[in-house]
Amino acid sequence: MPWWLPASLALGLVLLLVGGALAALGITAGSLNLADNLGEAYLWRVAWFTLWQAALSTLLSAGLAIPLARALARRQFPGRGLLLRLFSLSLVVPVIVAIFGIVAVHGRRGWLNDGLELMGFSGTHYLYGLGGILIGHCFFNMPFIARVLLQALESVPPESWRVASQYGLRSRDIFRLIEWPAMRGVLPGVAGLVFMLCFTSFAVVLTLGGGPRATTLEVAVYQALRFDFDLGRAVALALVQLLLCGGIVLALLRLSLPASLTLTEGRVYERPDRAGWAGRLGDAAVIGFAVFLVVLPLAAVAVAGFNPKATEVLTDPRLWRALGQSLIIALSAASLALLLGAALLVSSRILRHRLLRAQAAARLELSASLILVVPPFVLATGLFVLLRPFTDVFALGLPLVILVNALMALPFVVRFLGGPMMEEAQKHDRLCQSLGIAGWSRLRLVEWPNLRRPVALALAVAATLSLGDLGVIALFGSQDLTTLPLLLYQAMGGFRMAEAAVIAAVLSLLCLLLFLTIEYGLGRARLWPRHGAQGYGAQGYGAQGRA
């Protein structure tokens, strides 16, 4: 098989979908009179609010993450490891589930207002609008930034703390001379990524925006198509969002800074800023606030699921139909993303290791990430416009949702599989060529024992992301096509919070079970006879090579 064939097939499908969607938007823009739509004050007000809320969300998340990372770097306490794992959980929990937890804590009848009323104070109403959007984005992004900054602080050479102790540096001097230079190298890149995520946020703005005054471009496109059916406005909004996203991605490429390595003796030195009582109180307050912001909504989801509505919801056929359709979409999209990513990487590693064209291989791998330039809702809008003249778009909702989710998961698959596949090629490519082992035999006998865990992780992440997606299904969903996130959103929109609590608990449990089943089941399973791995696997070849 020619080396270029797998990548050509994968890129052909990606370009067919993305190019067709963008071409449809462009042709529609030419056939419609977009001048009136582009000149509307509404469009530019929405565009300005999209940029404004993304900038505020990024600044607030980074501003909270910096003292949190410092506190976690300075303190060792019982439950620190569990807290870091919960921070990681907030990154993969379905957005609509996290939103339910945020409403359960901060809503009008949430835990916070109930506590204030018990103490004799009147409740506050701050959740819906810009405040709710900021809370939702901080829930997801503040732990992510804090984990990245904590990693940077933990990489500070221990000799720096010895010098700080010798000179008697105070906490503010340590931050200015040691901690801030370490964080400054990674902060622009991670802040730019968070800005991009907030700019294209859909579910958070849709549920917590509270009305037209807090509408972003993504939500405005959805409203123009599903409620107003104003095709001209939808296309104009989508084109503006596409241009802004492209500009943001180009800016992000300039923010990446090369990592620097520092030689160290490997000794451990105590930080000099751990002993003061004021620092301990301040760090405890910062960590406590992070627990309140992140852990409480997760706990609210678990607690709220046990209510009198549980039996009624669990026996409702709509729940199980939505669960089945969610699994079909998640597994199909993850499998397609895995096939596309593997096809790109197979051709890429031949370019890199056999043809010695590393730059061309890097460009081929980068092509999988260019899909991030096209937001999923813009892609879905383009497909909607492209197929509408020929067929009933909602009748094709299931395959369209699968295709778009697969494309959105493709960069994550390439990220997880790229390193392991290149490492396998570097170890075994020449030996396999000399022994004439190729294709299916090479995968089965040589590579699968070492690739099954990365494959399982990539498949689990892609399936979990697709399972919790609300954006695309909100556009193509119907009475015949409903997923658990869409069912949860409908229950929350109808203020059926007890019913929503049960659905949120079921969705959370399903995500956890699906992730663990794929990661541990596929990652540890031997799909082929054990003698094959022993006879032709990495260990066998290594022994022959040394002999």
CA distances to 254, 277, 356 from 376, rounded to whole Å, are 24, 49, 35
pLDDT at residue number 102: 92
**Contact at 8 Å (CB) between 464 and 91?**
no
pLDDT at residue number 398: 92
In this prediction, residues 274-294 reach a mean pLDDT of 85
Percentage of residues in the chain with pLDDT exceeding 90? 18
> How many C-alpha atoms does 40 have within 13 Å on its Cβ side?
16
Q: How far is Cα 541 from Cα 521, in angstroms, rounded to an integer?
A: 27
Percentage of residues in the chain with pLDDT exceeding 70? 83
More confident residue, 470 or 210: 470
Q: How far is Cα 371 from Cα 165, in angstroms, rounded to an integer?
A: 49
Question: If you search the block for the tokens 């909607």, which residue do you land on?
Answer: 384
pLDDT tens-digit readout, 49-88 = 999 999 999 999 999 999 999 899 888 888 888 888 778 6
Q: The tokens of 492 are what? A: 């929350």
Q: How far is Cα 213 from Cα 218, in angstroms, rounded to an integer?
A: 14
| Coil vs helix vs strand at 283 | helix
Q: The tokens of 534 are what? A: 């022993």
In this prediction, residues 113-129 reach a mean pLDDT of 83
Q: Which CATH code, of 3.30.1330.10, 1.10.630.10, 1.10.3720.10, 1.10.340.70, is assigned to 1-31+309-542?
A: 1.10.3720.10
Q: How far is Cα 224 from Cα 218, in angstroms, rounded to an integer?
A: 10
Q: How far is Cα 194 from Cα 189, in angstroms, rounded to an integer?
A: 9
Of 406, 464, 410, nearest in space to 93 by CA: 464
Over the range 220-254, which residues count as b (16 or more CB within 10 Å of their CB) and which as e? bbbbbbeeeeebbbbbbbbbbbbebbeebeeebee
**Contact at 8 Å (CB) between 70 and 275?**
no
pLDDT tens-digit readout, 148-201 = 888 888 878 777 777 777 777 777 888 888 888 888 888 887 888 788 889 888
Q: How far is Cα 236 from Cα 376, in angstroms, rounded to an integer?
A: 16
Does residue 257 have a pLDDT over 90? Answer: no
In this prediction, residues 464-489 reach a mean pLDDT of 89
Which residue ranges make up each domain of the chain? 1-31+309-542
For 482-523, the DSSP string reads --HHHHHHHHHHTT-HHHHHHHHHHHHHHHHHHHHIIIIIIH
pTM: 0.76
Phi-psi bin for 436: left (phi > 0), alpha (psi -120 to 50), beta? Answer: left
Of 130, 94, 111, nearest in space to 208 by CA: 130
**Contact at 8 Å (CB) between 298 and 431?**
no
Over the range 202-218, which residues count as b (16 or more CB within 10 Å of their CB) and which as e? bbbbbbbbbeeebbbbb
